[in-house]
Each structure stands twice: as structure tokens, then as C-alpha cells.
């Protein structure tokens, strides 16, 4: 076991190496931007644009946070052809949007959640995707992830003449319009401000960006439309697995996108057992097929028998299942935001990620956030090596009693 001093020295060395790499990368990106000769063309008279490409490489939660901005863009540009470029992992969310005309997929480097490949593979992919996008002759590209220099570079190489993104040093060399990014503000509000800036430039509407400051969950809710087939499948699944009529359904999603965000399986089991004993809850454990081991670890620690939904539902069927629940519990992850989108109360456990920016977008009385008292929160770092996890227990230090207090208050209707 390493001492705090050794860990501090290791962290300091890592920070210096990271800073050096960032400086080299920034210099290279600026050089590439100069080679591409980015320019600021004058905007045509409205209506403009006739076609636009929205670039968003993220996963489930961030794509759900995008839906209010897509709705706003469609209101501002009712005649424009809007295409949404997402990862293959985001197609299931993107294709439900009534506000886009086309969904295009790209396996964005750094977002595939796979081991890194060749150093040159991201650039080969960029040239391949740029050739494909060039054929569609988009007027405007919106790079809506704040630090996505690869997406901005892609739009520039694809020859899209107008390119909006955030004024982040790595991104800016490839943009024609660099917009302000407000650190710590919720991502939904950030996305809405982005669309207000687009409105100003494309429709000559002034002053709207102030509305983003006041945007709230009531005026700009998340959306995830369910089909009748998905609702029926959720009902069939519950009947087939012996869900007892009249018992409140409580879903627990123990998985998360990074090991540092996980809460111990025995803790989830303890919460499940108390909610079953005190509230008569029927516990449902959800997760992907890749999270089955984690889900079964929770089940193994429980006194009762939960319903195991992990690996048995599509995204839409999971949303329909959550809609039938009285409560959904889990760590900071996309499925918890899916529960928010379908209107089910939630309890979210946060650690490294800033809950102000990426927390639940909904009524705070029925969507609760729990944090431990570590002073380093939020660090927004998720790439801790396995041997580093012991020194970063920010999620693990949230107590069973904290989770139970919020869960029972919500089940009692205290919202």
C-alpha cells in the first residue's frame, strides 16, 4: 500500500506529464488550424442555414440533455434540414427525436469505450468521415461538446463553411464562431445558450442568450418517447418474472461508466433489503449485458429475490420499465437520466463528476443528488487506474443511511 506522500508525488508527476502533452497538442492543433485557413464568411440573409450538422459524440445522458436544444433549434429553423452526427451507441436516443431529419453515426475516437488503437487511426477515420460529410454540403456545423476538437477538425476538413463551437483553446482553431462556455452550469442550459447564439447569427434574433440563464426543467424538459410496443413489452416482462401486483416497483441500476463511480454491491443490497422490509418494495436490478456480474453480485448479497432485468431489455423497454417504477436508484449514469426523462423519481450518487453541470434535469424535490464530503469534489476525472481506486472513495463514502433517507422520503411521497 502506498503512503499519502507517495500518492501525492505520483499525482504531481502525472499532472506535469499531462500538462506537457496538452501543450504539445495545443500547438499542433493551432498549426493545423492555420493550415486549413479558417475564415469567418458573412452570413447570408435569413432563412439560413438550409442544412446543418450537429456533432455530439457522447453517450446516453448527454444525448438526453441535448433534447431541449434540438427542440429549440427546430422552432428557430423550421425549414432547415437538420442532421445529427452521433456515435453508434447514441443511435437509439437520436432516432427518437422528432426534431432532426437524419441521424448519421461515426465511431468517434475516445468515446468508443474500447482500448486505444493506432496513434494514426483517429486521423484516418477523420479523413474518411470528412469525405462522406463533404458530399452532403452542409451550410453550418454545430460542435456541441465543449472540448471536442476532433469534431471541430472534422467539420473543417469536410469543408462546412460555418462552424460553431465553444471557445476552448483546442477547439477554437477550427471554428468560424467561438461561443462562451460557462464552467459549472448545467449542460442543458449550456446547450440552450448555444442555440440562442445560433438564433442570433442565423435569424438575426438578438438578446435571447439571456434566456438560457433562466432556462429551467419546467420550460425545457427532457424527452424520451415510448412506443406502445415497448410499454407492452415492459408489462409482459413484469408478468413473466412474477412481479407482485400492488407492490411498489423500485429499480436499482448499480452500474456506471467508470469504476470510480461505482457503489459497493453489498451497499445496494442493504438498501434493497430495507426498502423491501419497510416499504414492501419489489426490487428490479437493471443493467446492460456487460454488467450482469455486477448485478448478480448485488443479488447475491440480498436476502430476497430481485427481478433481474440486466441484459434483457432494449433501451426503449428499459425506459418503459422505469416508467412503471415508483423510484429508480443508481450512481451517476445515463440510465438514471433516462428515468428522469420518463418522469420517475430518482436518487443519484455523485462523486468525481460535477452534479451542477451533469446532475438530473428535473424537479429537485423528486430527483435527489447525494455526495460524500470529500473536499476535492468535483475533480471530473474518471480515468483512475485500478490501483488508484482505493485512494479515491468519493462515491463509496456515501452511506447506506443517506441513500435510504432519500429513497424512503420519495416512496412516502415527500415531494
21 vs 371 pLDDT, higher one: 371
Ordered DSSP codes for 112-176: S-S----TTHHHHHHHHHHHHHHTT--SEEEE-STT-HHHHHHHHHTT-SEEEEE--TTTGGG-S
Which three-class secondary structure state does DSSP give residue 191? helix
5 pLDDT band, cuts 50/70/90, is low
Per-residue pLDDT, averaged over 105-122, amounts to 86
Q: How high is the pLDDT of residue 16?
A: 61
Domain range 29-214, CATH class: alpha beta
Q: Lowest-confidence range among 139-143, 186-190, 211-215, 395-399?
A: 211-215
Grid coordinates of 194: 448555444
pLDDT at 32: 64
User: Which superfamily does CATH assign the domain made up of 229-411 to?
Assistant: Glycogen Phosphorylase B; (3.40.50.2000)
* 203 — pLDDT class (breaks 50, 70, 90): low
Quick check: do 29-214 and 229-411 share a fold? yes
Question: Where is average pLDDT lowest: 22-31, 108-117, 127-136?
Answer: 22-31
Mean per-residue pLDDT, 290-300: 97
Q: What is the pLDDT of residue 120?
A: 84
Contact 107, 125 (CB under 8 A): yes
Whether the CA torsion 379, 382, 385, 391 is positive or negative: it is positive
DSSP 309-354: -TTS--HHHHHHHHHT-SEEEEESSHHHHHHHHTT--EEEE-SSS-
pLDDT in tens, 240-289: 999 988 899 999 999 999 999 999 999 999 999 999 999 999 999 999 99
**Mean predicted lDDT score pLDDT of the chain:** 89
| DSSP category for residue 185 | S
The span from the CA of 66 to the CA of 261, in Å, is: 23
Confidence of residue 197 (pLDDT cuts 50, 70, 90): confident
Supply the pLDDT for residue 206. Answer: 47
At 30 the pLDDT is 64
Using CA atoms in the order 257, 263, 266, 270, what is the torsion angle rounded to 10 degrees? -120
Query: What's the confidence (pLDDT) of residue 219?
Result: 92
pLDDT at 44: 64
Q: What is the mean pLDDT of residues 369-386?
A: 93
**Section 346-375 average pLDDT:** 96
Give pLDDT, residue 27. 60
- Percent of the chain at pLDDT > 90 equals 77
Residue with more model confidence, 172 or 201: 172
How much is the pLDDT for 244?
85
- Is the pLDDT at 228 greater than 90? The verdict is yes
7-64 pLDDT, tens per residue? Answer: 554 555 555 666 666 666 666 666 666 566 554 555 565 567 899 999 999 999 999 9
In tens, the pLDDT along 316-351 reads: 999 999 999 999 999 999 999 999 999 999 999 999
Q: Where are the domains of the chain?
A: 29-214, 229-411
Q: Give me the helix-helix angle, 334-341 and 60-76, nearest 10°.
A: 50
For residues 161-180, give the mean pLDDT.
94
Lowest mean pLDDT among 6-20, 48-62, 170-184, 373-387: 6-20
- Which residues are CB-neighbours of 267 under 8 A, at least 6 positions away? 400, 403
Predicted local distance difference test score (pLDDT) of residue 1: 46
How are strands ordered across the β-sheet holding 102-105?
102-105, 81-86, 51-55, 140-143, 162-166, 177-179
Backbone φ, ψ for residue 364 (5° rounding): -65, -15
- pTM of structure: 0.89
Amino acid at each position: 500500500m502506498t503512503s499519502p506522500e507517495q500518492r501525492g508525488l505520483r499525482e504531481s508527476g502525472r499532472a506535469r506529464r499531462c500538462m506537457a502533452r496538452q501543450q504539445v497538442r495545443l500547438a499542433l492543433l493551432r498549426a493545423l488550424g492555420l493550415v486549413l485557413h479558417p475564415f469567418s464568411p458573412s452570413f447570408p440573409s435569413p432563412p439560413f442555414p438550409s442544412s446543418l450538422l450537429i456533432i455530439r459524440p457522447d453517450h446516453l445522458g448527454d444525448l438526453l440533455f441535448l433534447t431541449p436544444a434540438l427542440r429549440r433549434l427546430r422552432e428557430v429553423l423550421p425549414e432547415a434540414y437538420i442532421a445529427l452526427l452521433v456515435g453508434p451507441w447514441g443511435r437509439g436516443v437520436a432516432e427518437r427525436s422528432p426534431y432532426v431529419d437524419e441521424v448519421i453515426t461515426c465511431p468517434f475516437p475516445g468515446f468508443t469505450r474500447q482500448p486505444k488503437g493506432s496513434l494514426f487511426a483517429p486521423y484516418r477515420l477523420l479523413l474518411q468521415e470528412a469525405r462522406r460529410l463533404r458530399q452532403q454540403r452542409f451550410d453550418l456545423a454545430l460542435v456541441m461538446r465543449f472540448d471536442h476538437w476532433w469534431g471541430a477538425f472534422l467539420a473543417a476538413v469536410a469543408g462546412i463553411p460555418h462552424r460553431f463551437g465553444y471557445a476552448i483553446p483546442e477547439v477554437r482553431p477550427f471554428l468560424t464562431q467561438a461561443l462562451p462556455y460557462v464552467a459549472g452550469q448545467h449542460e442543458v442550459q449550456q446547450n440552450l445558450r448555444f442555440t440562442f447564439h445560433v438564433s442570433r447569427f442565423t435569424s438575426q434574433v438578438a438578446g435571447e442568450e439571456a434566456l438560457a440563464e433562466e432556462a429551467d426543467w419546467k420550460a425545457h424538459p427532457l424527452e424520451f418517447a415510448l412506443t406502445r410496443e415497448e410499454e407492452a413489452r415492459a408489462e409482459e416482462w413484469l408478468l413473466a418474472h412474477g412481479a407482485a401486483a400492488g407492490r411498489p416497483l423500485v429499480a436499482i441500476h448499480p452500474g456506471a461508466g467508470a469504476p470510480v463511480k461505482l457503489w459497493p454491491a453489498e451497499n445496494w443490497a442493504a438498501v434493497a433489503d430495507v426498502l423491501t422490509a419497510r416499504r414492501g418494495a419489489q426490487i428490479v436490478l437493471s443493467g446492460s449485458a456487460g454488467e450482469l456480474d455486477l448485478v448478480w453480485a448485488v443479488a447475491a448479497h440480498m436476502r430476497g429475490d430481485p427481478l433481474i432485468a440486466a441484459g434483457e431489455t432494449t433501451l426503449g423497454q428499459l425506459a418503459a420499465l422505469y416508467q412503471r417504477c415508483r423510484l429508480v436508484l443508481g450512481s451517476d449514469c445515463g440510465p438514471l437520466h433516462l428515468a428522469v426523462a420518463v418522469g420517475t423519481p430518482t436518487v443519484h450518487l455523485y462523486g468525481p463528476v460535477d452534479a451542477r453541470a451533469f446532475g438530473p434535469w428535473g424537479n429537485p424535490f423528486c430527483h435527489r443528488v447525494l455526495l460524500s464530503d470529500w473536499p476535492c469534489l468535483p475533480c471530473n476525472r474518471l480515468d483512475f487506474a485500478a490501483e488508484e481506486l482505493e485512494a479515491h472513495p468519493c462515491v463509496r463514502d456515501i452511506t447506506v443511511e443517506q441513500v435510504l433517507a432519500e429513497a424512503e422520503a420519495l416512496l412516502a411521497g415527500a415531494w
